A and B are shown apart, each in its own frame.
Chain A
Amino acid sequence: DSGVTQTPKHLITATGQRVTLRCSPRSGDLSVYWYQQSLDQGLQFLIQYYNGEERAKGNILERFSAQQFPDLHSELNLSSLELGDSALYFCASSVADGVGYGYTFGSGTRLTVV
């Protein structure tokens, strides 16, 4: 157990729907990062939050949004889902900005869009 908790572990939904993925960071970590990993692809950075504020943005689609709450858990919202959104979505956390500390990853949410 890495200490980063992601729910749900699996999600199957239809095209056009909206889903919310949840992440609780490791105790003491202020930064949360979201990554997408499609089949046999590398990890694509989506977005970073630090202590409730958005800090960095990667290749995140406009249909996707995220937020970090006062208790530091984070949610990733995916809307108007398409077949191509099927992927593993990882959340990671770090103490501060990750430099020197690395990121600790959760076990991921496997999203299947049918």
Chain B
Amino acid sequence: GQNIDQPTEMTATEGAIVQINCTYQTSGFNGLFWYQQHAGEAPTFLSYNVLDGLEEKGRFSSFLSRSKGYSYLLLKELQMKDSASYLCAVIIGDNAGNMLTFGGGTRLMVKP
């Protein structure tokens, strides 16, 4: 089976830095995505990692270690609007097709 684990909830303070971890055990790996999802809305793309290392994009950075089956999303200078669920997802597939398999999501609450 596919296992993608991330904490259920986290709380952080406005202006601070928060790190959301994700570990995965999957049969096959074609990359790891992070999505942001506000309640009742569509997930929106944040980042993609396929090689080991850190990808930085503005206030958001994502790290991947394939040998450890581990990724994290780093959010800097937190803003109230960053309160949302953050979804870790692994793309698994072969020539026949692929599926983006999601973890349960981490609900982040940013407090003043």
Residue ranges of A at the interface with B (Cβ–Cβ < 8 Å): 2, 33, 35, 41-45, 48, 50, 54-56, 58, 88, 90, 92, 97-100, 102-108, 110
Listed A/B pairs (17) with beta-carbon separation below 8 Å: A2-B44, A33-B100, A35-B102, A41-B104, A45-B99, A48-B97, A48-B98, A55-B97, A56-B96, A56-B97, A92-B100, A98-B91, A98-B98, A99-B31, A99-B91, A100-B50, A107-B42
Residue ranges of B at the interface with A (Cβ–Cβ < 8 Å): 30-31, 33, 40-45, 48, 50, 87, 89, 91, 93, 96-105
Per DSSP, chain B at the interface is strand
B41 nearest CB across to chain A (Å) = 7
Cβ-closest chain B residue relative to A46:
B99
B98 touches A106 (CB 8 A): no
Partner of B42, one of A54, A97, A100, A108: A108
Given known A-B contacts A100-B50, A108-B42, A42 and B97 have beta carbons under 8 A apart: no
